Amino acid sequence: MDTSLLKDVLAVLSPVAVIVGVILALVQLRTQSRLRQFDTVMRVYSTFGDESFQRHFQRVLSWKFNTPQQFERKSKPEDLVSMWVVAVLFENIGLLYKRKLVPLDLLDDLLSGPLTRAWERSEPAAVGMRVDLNLPQMWEWFELLYKAMRGRLERLAGKGHA
C-alpha cells in the first residue's frame, strides 16, 4: 500500500473516530444520569420499608378526618408526628418529580397506591397545617405529586390499563 494512500485514509478516519468517541461518551453520560436518578429515588424510597416509617404510615391510613377542623379537634400529638414523617417522605419524592429527576411512570410502579391513599387521608391535616402555620406552600410537592399521579392513573384507566 502506498504511504500517500494510507495518509489519506487515516486523514478521513481520524475525524470519524473522534465523532464515534463523542457519541459513545454522550451515551455513557446519559446512562450514568439515569442510573443516578434511579439510585436517588431508591435511596429515598428505601425509607418506605422501614418499620418505624410503616408505623406512622399505617396510622395515617387509619385516619377518618374529613376536615382540617376535625383533625385539629380529634387528633392526638402522635398524629402530628405521623403526619410529618409521612408527608416529608412524599414531599421529598414530589420535589424529585418536580425537578424532573424521577419519571412519573417509575413512581407509579413503586408507590402509586400508597401515595394516593396517604394524600387522601392526610389532606385535611395538610390543609389545616398550611392555615395554622401561615405556610401556603407546605406539603406542596406532596400534593403536586398526588395530582400528577391521580391524573396519570385516570388517563391509564381511560385507556383500559390497570
Residue 110: left (phi > 0), alpha (psi -120 to 50), or beta?
alpha
Asked whether residue 1 carries a pLDDT value surpassing 90, the answer given is: no
Q: What is the chain's mean pLDDT, rounded?
A: 90
At 33, the pLDDT band (50, 70, 90 cuts) reads confident
pLDDT digits (tens, 9 = 90+) for 119-138: 999 999 999 999 999 999 99
CB 93 within 8 Å of CB 145:
yes
Q: What is the pLDDT of residue 154?
A: 95
CB 148 within 8 Å of CB 97:
yes
Length of the chain: 162
pLDDT digits (tens, 9 = 90+) for 69-79: 999 999 999 99
Top-confidence residue, 162 or 89: 89
What does the pLDDT average to over 93-122? 94
At 107, the pLDDT band (50, 70, 90 cuts) reads very high
Q: What is the pTM of this model?
A: 0.78
Reduce the DSSP state of residue 108 to 3 states and report it.
helix
What does the pLDDT average to over 143-160? 94
Q: Which three cell numbers stand for residue 46?
A: 428505601
